[in-house]
Amino acid sequence: MMQVVSRAEWRARERRREHLFQVISACIVLLAITTLVVLLTKILLDGYARLNPQFFTSFPSRRAEQAGILPALVGSAYLLLLTAAIAIPIGVGAAIYLEEFAKRNWFTRLIEINITNLAGVPSVIYGLLGLQVFVRTLAMDRSLLAGACTMALLALPVIITAAREGLRVVPKSLRDGSLALGATQWQTVRYSVLPVAMPSILTGVILSLSRVIGETAPLLVVGAVVYIGTLPESVFSKFTVLPVQVYNWTTRPQHAFQENAAAGIIVLLLLLLTLNAVAIYLRNHFQKRLPI
Amino acid sequence: MPSNTPSEVSVAYPRAVVRVGSTARNRRRVRIEEAVVRLFLFVCAFIGVLTTFAIVFILISESMHFFEKVSPMKFLTGTVWTPTFSNPSFGVLPLVLGTVLTSLIALLLAGPVGLITAVYLSEYASPRVRRVVKPTLEVLAGIPTVVYGYFALTFLTPLLQRFIPGLEGFNALSAGLVMGIMILPTIASLSEDALYAVPNSLRYASLALGATRFQTVWGVVVPAAMSGVSASFLLGVSRAVGETMIVAIAAGQQPNFTLNPLRAVETMTAYIVRITMGDTPHGSVEYRTIFAVGLLLFLITLALNLFSERVRQRYKGARL
């Protein structure tokens, strides 16, 4: 049933409703910010006391206050480098193929749709893939190499997308100029496109790789070990990484281990921050230096 | 994280000198190099297709071995999941229910909050507010999930236990809520894109008819962007279904057949992690359960992703 109201009353009512919605939405947006602040504060408060030199130079231990993250830190660094060494050439190569070489036909579409869908596959499934292909079939066992291969496959869709974005920055005129001078497609890419696109490709690739640092589930499945008394010596060694160590400490019932977990998280977040800062620095640096 | 598209286009002078000269030998070498490089690049791009094939092949072939021992009907309709017991039972429904429950809680939080955040950012917020909120969402999106798991277990659960008596130490509620925070950036930023794509002419038309801003936003703009918004919800749910660490840490690892958010549950992902971390003998039936559960998980997320993509495509076509 409609109710007759005066125009002034209607306006006032609408204004109240408008106002109420703005307040509610501002509160909700604040919720996201508050959550982030609370999360970071909680972790800092829990973990900062454990951040001493001994924590960085010790192996995991049954005694929380003697345990450290040395093998996890070294393992994370090796894993990142190895993953980058595998995933960057393949990812950038695939991006170059799709952007510069591929004809627009159904097969190219298939590859593109495929990459989009792979980006949506849960990471734990990549763990199962790695377990069956690298650990068992290729007999790499539960090694650093198996972990890196798995992570490389996981990172590929994101790297390809990032590298394609980077290649799109290069203006078409540059390619046309090179081709008009008689250069082949690959010579054009190699000498004209890549030097220009490299900084933006690199930025995107580093940002995508920073996810590798935080991934836990696929490495648990592939078999990162938790108790480890030695540092990895080769790519076939057993290994552990920072997030796996954090997971292990978090699931212990003793409170002291959870402090260790928080301290490990602080280190993990600092690592992520560093990687992102490097990416941003690279972007700004190259942007300024290159002539237009 | 910042986007990787530089604001200005920079162009370098090609430094290397391309070998010129059209001797037949030279041309042949260039042609061979060209073909080799092209093949290599093609192989790189094709690895993605191979990965998909490998995933599908492994999940199906290992599941086949599993279904030789356990009937698919019993697997899909059984309500008791005790594969590691001496008298095992392989009903996957408790794991499915655990996944549905945590994802639903996540969506109930992240859906409304994400949509309102998107509406606020695209229709109301000043540039200054946007400059604070957008990076916050990006940072939330970049936090490793194991960190969220720690937060759920050591902060949110004790906090909720003060208000909700009977909340177990491991429970679906706090895992689901934190998972909601995790998928919030996905939903908010994709919904915002959808709202942004609504042409201004619609807004002006509505305002010119005397509608208020509130009426314009909720009566015209949001309905016009509905398919994009739904696509973002679907993608968010797909993320939640595939998420592993938060639920493995905070939801407990007990396959209870329940929809009670106060109790411990086990999701499909958490189960896979639990078994692979234990010392289940390779090749045994309980070992193969992880591939059967993985296949189910893969199919569910694939369906959600494809559905989300379809919904988004429809809205692209319907753009005014």
CB contact under 8 A, A21 and B214: yes
CB contact under 8 A, B45 and A89: no
Q: Looking at beta carbons, which residues of chain A come within 8 Å of B147?
A: 39, 43, 214, 246, 265, 268-269
Same domain, A103 and A81: yes
How many other CB atoms sit within 10 Å of the CB of residue A281? 11
∠ CA A203-A204-A209, rounded to 5°: 100
Q: Which domain holds residue A38?
A: 7-50
Among the ranges given (A140-154, A252-266, B241-255, B272-286), the one the predictor scored with the smallest mean pLDDT = B272-286
Residue B83 included in any domain: no
Q: Which domain holds residue B295?
A: 93-317
**Chain segment B135-163, per-residue pLDDT in tens:** 888 888 889 999 999 999 999 999 998 99
How many other CB atoms sit within 10 Å of the CB of residue B132? 11
Residue B189 included in any domain: yes
ipTM above 0.95, yes or no: no
Token output for A200: 């933006």
Q: Give the separation between CA A257 and CA A65, rounded to whole angstroms.
A: 8
Same domain, A11 and A98: no
* A278 near B CB under 8 A: no
DSSP A65: G
Residue B106 included in any domain: yes
Same domain, B118 and B31: no
Same domain, A46 and A126: no
Scan residues 129-148 of A and list those with Cβ closer than 8 Å to B. 129, 131-133, 136
Same domain, B98 and B221: yes
Q: Give the separation between CA A15 and CA A123, rounded to whole angstroms.
A: 48
Say if CB B124 and CB A22 are below 8 A apart: yes
**Chain segment A167-182, per-residue pLDDT in tens:** 988 888 888 988 898 8
Is B81 in a helix, a strand, or coil?
strand
Note the pLDDT of residue A290: 52
In chain A, how many domains are there?
2
Q: Which residues of A200-213 are buried (b: 16+ CB within 10 A; e: fewer)?
A: bbbbbbbbbbbbbb
Q: Pick the residue with more confidence: A143 or B12? A: A143
- Count the helices and strands in chain B (H runs, E runs): 14, 0
Q: B90 forms bridges with which residues in the sheet? A: B81
Confidence grade of residue A235 (pLDDT, cut at 50, 70, 90): confident
Same domain, B42 and B158: no
Question: Which positions ≥6 away from B131 have C-beta within 8 Å?
Answer: none
H/E stretch holding B141: helix B127-142
Q: Looking at residue A277, which CATH number applies to its domain?
A: 1.10.3720.10
Is B170 in a helix, a strand, or coil?
coil
Nearest partner of B116 among B222, B196, B207, judged by Cα: B222
Same domain, B211 and B304: yes
CB contact under 8 A, A214 and B137: no
Confidence grade of residue B316 (pLDDT, cut at 50, 70, 90): low
**Chain segment A14-62, per-residue pLDDT in tens:** 888 888 888 888 888 888 889 999 999 999 998 888 888 888 888 887 7
Note the pLDDT of residue B175: 93
Same domain, A95 and A215: yes
Same domain, A134 and A276: yes
DSSP A182: T
**Which of B7, B146, B216 to mutate against chain A (most A CBs within 10 Å)?**
B146
Same domain, A163 and A146: yes
* B281 near A CB under 8 A: no
Q: Give the separation between CA A202 and CA A262, rounded to whole angstroms.
A: 31
Q: What is the DSSP string of B223-236?
A: HHTHHHHHHHHHHH
Confidence grade of residue B19 (pLDDT, cut at 50, 70, 90): low
Amino acid at B307: F
In chain B, how many domains are there?
2
Q: B81 forms bridges with which residues in the sheet? A: B90
Nearest partner of A146 among A122, A128, A121, judged by Cα: A128
Same domain, B102 and B236: yes
Confidence grade of residue B191 (pLDDT, cut at 50, 70, 90): very high
Residue B78 included in any domain: no
- List Cα–Cα distances, A117 to A276, B53, B100, in angstroms: 26, 12, 22
Q: What is the mean pLDDT of chain B?
A: 85
Above 60 in pLDDT, residue B318?
A: no
Token output for B6: 């530089």
Scan residues 167-196 of A and list those with Cβ closer than 8 Å to B. 169-171, 174, 178, 181-187, 190-192, 195-196
Same domain, A31 and A172: no
Note the pLDDT of residue B315: 63
Same domain, A39 and A154: no
Q: Residue ranges of the alpha helices (H) in chain A?
A: 7-47, 53-57, 70-96, 106-119, 123-130, 144-168, 172-180, 185-188, 194-214, 217-222, 242-250, 255-289
List phi, psi (to 5°) of A60. -60, 150
Nearest partner of A270 among A95, A22, A56, judged by Cα: A56
* B139 near A CB under 8 A: yes
Residue B88 included in any domain: no
**Which of A19-28's residues contact partners 24+ apart within 8 Å by CB, and which partners?**
A21/B214, A22/B124, A24/B116, A25/B116, A25/B117, A25/B119, A25/B120, A25/B124, A26/B120, A28/B113, A28/B116, A28/B117, A28/B120
Above 60 in pLDDT, residue A291?
A: no
Same domain, B154 and B33: no
The angle that helices B268-277 and B285-317 make with each other, rounded to 10 degrees, is: 150
Same domain, A69 and A170: yes
Same domain, B45 and B160: no
- Kindly tell me the burial class for residue A289, based on how many C-beta atoms sit within 10 Å of its own C-beta (0-12, 13-18, 19 or more): exposed
Above 90 in pLDDT, residue B114?
A: yes
Token output for B75: 């697997």
Same domain, A39 and A144: no
Q: Give the separation between CA B166 and CA B181, rounded to whole angstroms.
A: 24
Same domain, A127 and A153: yes
Q: Give the separation between CA A230 and CA B118, rounded to whole angstroms.
A: 49
Same domain, B195 and B130: yes
* A72 near B CB under 8 A: no
Confidence grade of residue B2 (pLDDT, cut at 50, 70, 90): very low
Confidence grade of residue A289 (pLDDT, cut at 50, 70, 90): low
Handedness of CA B77, B245, A246, A231 (dihedral sign): positive
Q: Looking at residue B130, which CATH number applies to its domain?
A: 1.10.3720.10
**Chain segment A107-136, per-residue pLDDT in tens:** 888 898 889 889 889 999 999 999 988 888
CB contact under 8 A, A217 and B14: no
